[in-house]
Amino acid sequence: MTLITPSRPLSALVALSACLLAACGPKEEAAVPAVTADAGEATITIRLGHVAPLTGPQAHLGKDNENGARLAIDDLNAEKILIGGKVAKFELLGEDDQADPRQGTTVAQKLADAHVHAVIGHLNSGTTIPASRIYHDAGIVQVSPSATNPTYTRQGYKTAFRVFADDVQQGSVLGGFATGKLGAKK
């Protein structure tokens, strides 16, 4: 059994996505993971999407995120995790949203049409928020590793998750630290 630990945050994120897809994913036939025979062993294929800017000024951040997701997928596949008694085979479909909200919705629809089970991304709040409606409507779990705009999770979509605190929470903690610990007045 694989344990999720703080030293394995991206693997934990991918595993969390897989678990959440089982709880929140649509019940339609097309969204059910594929079961295939692999050397006499039943497998279940979990298709995950990853979206970030892979071109443009923020490409270095997006590529780092995608590479991390790919490493996590490799680790998970090497561990032969069981889901429902079948060996899980994780696949990652990477998309470039160019940090542009219009491109973000285009690739979100592309992933929805590809029947991914969960999405890791988007990197920016500006692309995450409009894409979240598409994922919600398709019943696809979305875990953003970095969107901080409070609107993202305050829309009420049960498929939208963030990895760390939003801007309001961060601002109040930073302000409290500045005034309480550093003695700042403004």
Whether residue 3 contacts residue 75, with contact meaning beta carbons closer than 8 Å, is answered with: no
The tally of domains found in the chain comes to 1
Q: Please, which pLDDT band fits residue 31 given cuts at 50, 70 and 90?
A: very low
Q: Is residue 160 part of a domain?
A: yes
Q: Is residue 186 part of a domain?
A: no
* Mean per-residue pLDDT over the chain, rounded: 84
User: pLDDT at residue 117 above 50?
Assistant: yes
pTM given for the model: 0.77
CATH number at residue 169: 3.40.50.2300
Q: Is residue 3 part of a domain?
A: no
Which residue is it, tokens 């060996």? 87
**3 or 57, greater pLDDT:** 57
Catalogue the long-range contacts made by 146-155 (C-beta closer than 8 Å, 24 or more residues apart): 146/65, 147/122, 147/123, 149/125, 151/125, 152/125, 152/128, 155/129
- Containing domain of residue 95, as a range? 9-180
Angle at 3 between CA 169 and CA 60, to 5 degrees: 55
Q: What is the pLDDT of residue 169?
A: 87
